[in-house]
Structure 1
Amino acid sequence: MSRVLVAGVDTSTQSCKVRVTDAATGELVRFGQAKHPDGSAVSPEHWWRAFQEAASQAGGLDDVSAIAVGGQQHGMVALDEHGRVIRDAMLWNDTSSAPQAEALIDELGAAPAADGEPEDPHQRGIERWVKAVGSSPVASYTLTKIKWVAQHEPANAARIAAVCLPHDWLSWRIAGFGPVQPGENAHLDALFTDRSDASGTLYFDAASNTYRRDLLALGLQPDDACTPGAAATEHAERIVLPHVLGPNQVAPVNADPSIAGAQVPGGCIIAPGGGDNAMASLGLGMAVGDVSVSLGTSGVAAAISEQPVYDLSGSVSGFADCTGHFLPLACTINASRILDAARAMLDVDYDELTTLALDSHPGAGGMTLVPYFDGERTPNRPDATATLSGMTLRNTERRNVARAFVEGLLCSQRDCMELIRSLGAQIDRILLIGGGAKSMAVRTLAPCILGMDVSCPATDEYVAIGAARQAAWVLSGADDAPDWPISIDAVQTGTPTPQVYEAYVQARG
């Protein structure tokens, strides 16, 4: 009997990856990858061409029974009534909408304080946003980009007939839809998404699973009025937003047979897809009590929670996950590049950095690095710089500098974990992933700084695995996702060194 195949797609900032997978076992069958262009504003057509190239490298998708797409979050894809992309998609890393993020906070905070609300209008605005949609505006979120277009490109804003996210748009194209000629039906109503990606827009409430078109209207308002005008309100009601599917719900449309499933009776079904962080957690098999710490260019700590969390300071994003639960997430701007800075400063490679750091002792002889090299998001200090304090003639040695950099990296991630824990999230297991997790110095010191054993999964494409797992789940019709094995390279143990984190907390203030 031939095995059933599914495909998981990861359309990230850097590339598109297609993983053809055995639906029963999770075993990798075929794989393809194609690069995306650099930049923070990109034509989605590049994603479509990269998907086609990656699918071809993976041997085609004719024999695939189900497909799901995981993708970079927050990117704004604006379509006109003919299904044409109006302008290059503004991606999560496009920070030009930072003033619009601040304006949205102030707009929601302008009304007088109710009982128990802060007197400061800005802080009041942050709290109101968190209570409304789980997160407070920063430049990465979709709504801030919509407001930027409304203020800087009003002609483009007026043409918006639908707004979707990168994974939504690619799923729609896989279903065979796209731009049409005037007079033809663009089938914008066929757009669909999931809770995880929708929860990163600022106009979807994952707790009630409803769109907040009143907040979308604030984004479409070209000025910074506290209440959107009639035109913005009417436009917000008229815009097509993707249908939000449940975690194991089949999309209402199949993949176009020319793209996937041509050899499969009944064709290839499409799963909801999801945002990259949520898809990675699904790929890792995370459950309530698990937290992942991902050390890439940025650092991301994310936990699975049965209940929504509301961080009224705005530091923790209240996202949804891909299983019907929630994904409280805290992000640092600085992560693996802290190690790059250490290597450059000491003129060593990664192995030499590890040797130096492990030759020192907990606390780096009294040195503490607060690693805000590019400012910081958690805590919110955009203009901060890094500081290396506690240096004396006695302790200023290369090994202590190396140790301080590694400890500073891990302490910044401990900050994120403690924020998530303070909101009631259960933390029983830590999964350490990402490029920075390959460092033996990081692996060795992680349990000491984070205060508990740390599991290090094997390096793999967890977003694509999560997408494939979701596709297999939807195909099966089961209540729960398939139980695919996850390879753990090592479980790191170590003696906790709370004094190191305490010194860090004092140094960062």
Structure 2
Amino acid sequence: MPVVAGVDSSTQSTTVVLRDADTGATLGSGRAPHTPTFPPVSEQDPAEWWAATVLAFGRARENAGIAADDIVAVSVAAQCHGLVPLDAEGRVIRPAKLWNDTTASAEIAALTERIGGDAWTDRIGTLPPPSFTIGKLAWLKAREPEHFTRLAGVLLPHDYLTWRLTGGTPGASLRSERTVTDRSDASGTGYYSAPEGRYLTEVLELVDAQKAWADMLPEVLGPSEQAGTVPAATAAELGVRADAVVGAGAGDQHASAVGLGIAPGELAYVLGTSGVVFTTSEFPVFDHSGIVNAVADATGAYLPLICTLNAAKVTDTVARLLGADHGELERLALAAPREADRPLLVAYLDGERTPNRPHSRGLLAGLSSETSREDLALAAFEGVVLGMERGQRRMQETGLALGGRLLVTGGGSGSAAYRQVIADVTGRPVEITDAVDAVAGGAAAQAAAVLRGADIRTLRDEWAPASRVVAEPGGHDYTRIRDTYTRAADWAGLDGAFHD
């Protein structure tokens, strides 16, 4: 039985999902953790990702009960926007800066002033926030010039793992080896235009005019193009068939859209460490406010999305402060009265990406002597969801029709409180699917498409999981709450509100 593998390399861990190449049935999975990071400085050693990938493959094979030779195709999805800086010998120069590292805010602000925010948005579909790779490159030149001088290759996290899968060897000449990326992940760098289908080296020249940028960037492949094959030595290390086909890979949310089978007009609320709301679109969206990131998707179209830095970790934090476990926090929130003047939490605990408030902090408003543990628990869930729903409303203001299903996924999707609050705030039924690892599952679908020589949309539709409604709106009026939240959030994001 031929088997395809999908890899999800996230901030927290690497997950490998094995699926039947013919039917899409999930056969087993394995996971290995990464060292935790703590924004605003968020960095990891890419060698750790590779070690976790090897470990996760072994666990997945064991759980599935299959042999290494059964795995005939692999694709990698990973966290976006990171910077993996390589020298001329393919060695990692310094730890990779991750998507939730916001230390490049000054560099992004300077580049935006030089380029013009609207002009930049009109080229790439997004006003780059500090998380985008272009800011990290400018940061590297300004803060670590000795490392920038050695820079000879610029990869994203999934590019690095794909390079290692296809035989890339640290210590060998980088110029002699092929490096690739895909359109979805490249569109989150700040220097690739998906509408134009090309790198904007003129933007990179604003960072440094002397670098031969065109020679330093990976080739951008289409969604069903082959990146290469797994050589024998690497296959033995991973436990896959030698010469297994390797797909182009994708960004994590982009692969998730494939794994969930999201069609245009449908919405996904992703509740992980971060909070993401996305849909798919056949056409690009250009949001000059910078709220909506109109990146490319993993099928050749587009994936308009908003991403907040603070999601499930907010409820984790409030549970700790209340001395409650997750089950008790949910029970408290669901039992809370919905008073119009109840406390509200602006959940900018570690700064915020959407809106772009890297120096902000959380704000709890509306406390009184009658505030209860139930009120505080509800405020935690509502603070996360109101921030995400604010981004959703901006997506609709750009002209996107979002009347289809609303799916909830990610680690927080199992929470009855999150499901109910999303239904209440949006006024829409909430659905879930049986897709446990949508990102890795979507990457596996891409691997199958490459193996078959098929359009990835065909596999997306064939393998789309069924969904079911798990929460209905409770009929609560959020007009006043939404207005109060917006005013409090705008104040919390003011420069100097919490810092001199």
Sort the TM-score into its range (normalised by shorter chain): 0.7 to 0.9
Q: Distance in 2 between matches of 1:163 and 1:58?
A: 30
The aligned residue for residue 111 of structure 1 is none
Shift, 1:266, TM fit = 9.0
The aligned residue for residue 436 of structure 1 is 412
The aligned residue for residue 363 of structure 2 is 387
8 Å Cα contact 2:5/2:17 also seen in 1:
yes
The aligned residue for residue 492 of structure 1 is 471
Matched, 1:505 2:486: yes
DSSP-derived class of the 2:89 partner:
coil
For residue 464 of structure 1, the aligned residue among 440, 445, 456 is: 440
Matched, 1:158 2:149: yes
Matched, 1:321 2:319: no
Shift, 1:167, TM fit = 0.9
8 Å Cα contact 1:63/1:263 also seen in 2:
no
Q: Name structure 2 gaps, 5 residues minimum.
A: 62-66, 491-500
Matched, 1:409 2:384: yes
For residue 93 of structure 2, the aligned residue among 79, 86, 92 is: 86
The aligned residue for residue 376 of structure 1 is 352
Shift, 1:259, TM fit = 3.3
For residue 451 of structure 1, the aligned residue among 427, 432, 450 is: 427
Shift, 1:363, TM fit = 4.3
Matched, 1:143 2:101: no
Matched AA of 1:78: P
Matched, 1:205 2:193: yes
Matched, 1:68 2:102: no
The aligned residue for residue 43 of structure 1 is 45
CA RMSD of aligned residues (A): 2.6
Q: Distance in 2 between matches of 1:407 and 1:14?
A: 24
The aligned residue for residue 271 of structure 1 is 247
CA distances 1:430-459 after superposition (whole Å, capped 9, x unpaired): 111223332212212321111211112346
Which one is further off, 200-209 or 382-391? Answer: 382-391
For residue 177 of structure 1, the aligned residue among 168, 191, 206 is: 168
8 Å Cα contact 2:4/2:20 also seen in 1:
yes
Within-5 A mapping of 1:19-58: 19-39=17-37, 40-58=42-60
Which one is further off, 331-340 or 165-174? Answer: 331-340
DSSP-derived class of the 1:62 partner:
helix
CA distances 1:88-127 after superposition (whole Å, capped 9, x unpaired): 222223333222112211222xxxxxxxxxxxxxxxx222
CA distances 1:222-273 after superposition (whole Å, capped 9, x unpaired): xxxxxxx4x24xx224x3311111111222x222133349999993211110
Matched AA of 2:400: A
Q: Normalising to structure 1: TM-score of the pair?
A: 0.86
Q: Normalising to structure 2: TM-score of the pair?
A: 0.87
The aligned residue for residue 224 of structure 1 is none
CA distances 1:38-57 after superposition (whole Å, capped 9, x unpaired): 34333322222222222233
8 Å Cα contact 2:260/2:435 also seen in 1:
no
Q: Distance in 1 between matches of 2:347 and 2:241?
A: 55
Q: Distance in 2 between matches of 1:263 and 1:167?
A: 19
Shift, 1:276, TM fit = 0.8
Which one is further off, 78-87 or 165-174? Answer: 78-87
Shift, 1:288, TM fit = 0.7
Q: Distance in 2 between matches of 1:20 and 1:459?
A: 13
**Residues 304, 339 of structure 1: CA spacing in aligned structure 2 closer, same or farther, 3 A cutoff?**
same
Q: Distance in 2 between matches of 1:398 and 1:180?
A: 56
CA distances 1:353-388 after superposition (whole Å, capped 9, x unpaired): 333322334345544333333333322333434334
Q: Distance in 1 between matches of 2:3 and 2:470?
A: 32
Matched, 1:126 2:117: yes
**Residues 38, 498 of structure 1: CA spacing in aligned structure 2 closer, same or farther, 3 A cutoff?**
closer
**Residues 93, 381 of structure 1: CA spacing in aligned structure 2 closer, same or farther, 3 A cutoff?**
closer
Matched AA of 1:50: A
Q: Distance in 2 between matches of 1:92 and 1:185?
A: 24
The number of residue pairs the alignment matches comes to 474
Q: Distance in 1 between matches of 2:452 and 2:470?
A: 32
The aligned residue for residue 331 of structure 1 is 307
Within-5 A mapping of 1:361-372: 361-363=337-339, 366-372=342-348
Percent identity among equivalent residues? 38
CA distances 1:389-441 after superposition (whole Å, capped 9, x unpaired): 34455x53333333333323221111011111111222122111223332212
Shift, 1:324, TM fit = 1.0
**Residues 205, 61 of structure 1: CA spacing in aligned structure 2 closer, same or farther, 3 A cutoff?**
farther
Shift, 1:336, TM fit = 1.7
8 Å Cα contact 2:78/2:250 also seen in 1:
yes
Matched AA of 1:196: S
Which one is further off, 488-497 or 20-29? Answer: 488-497
Q: Distance in 2 between matches of 1:283 and 1:97?
A: 32
Q: Distance in 2 between matches of 1:358 and 1:487?
A: 27
Shift, 1:502, TM fit = 4.0
Matched, 1:247 2:223: yes
8 Å Cα contact 1:194/1:274 also seen in 2:
yes
Which one is further off, 8-17 or 480-489? Answer: 480-489
Q: Distance in 2 between matches of 1:328 and 1:475?
A: 28
8 Å Cα contact 2:235/2:242 also seen in 1:
no
Matched AA of 1:492: A
Q: Distance in 2 between matches of 1:294 and 1:264?
A: 31
DSSP-derived class of the 1:319 partner:
strand
Shift, 1:84, TM fit = 2.4
Within-5 A mapping of 1:473-492: 473-479=449-455, 480-482=457-459, 483-488=462-467, 490-492=469-471
**Residues 98, 504 of structure 1: CA spacing in aligned structure 2 closer, same or farther, 3 A cutoff?**
closer
Q: Distance in 1 between matches of 2:469 and 2:314?
A: 23
DSSP-derived class of the 1:18 partner:
strand
Within-5 A mapping of 1:199-238: 199-219=187-207, 221=208, 229=209, 231-232=210-211, 235-237=212-214
Shift, 1:81, TM fit = 2.6
Matched AA of 1:68: S
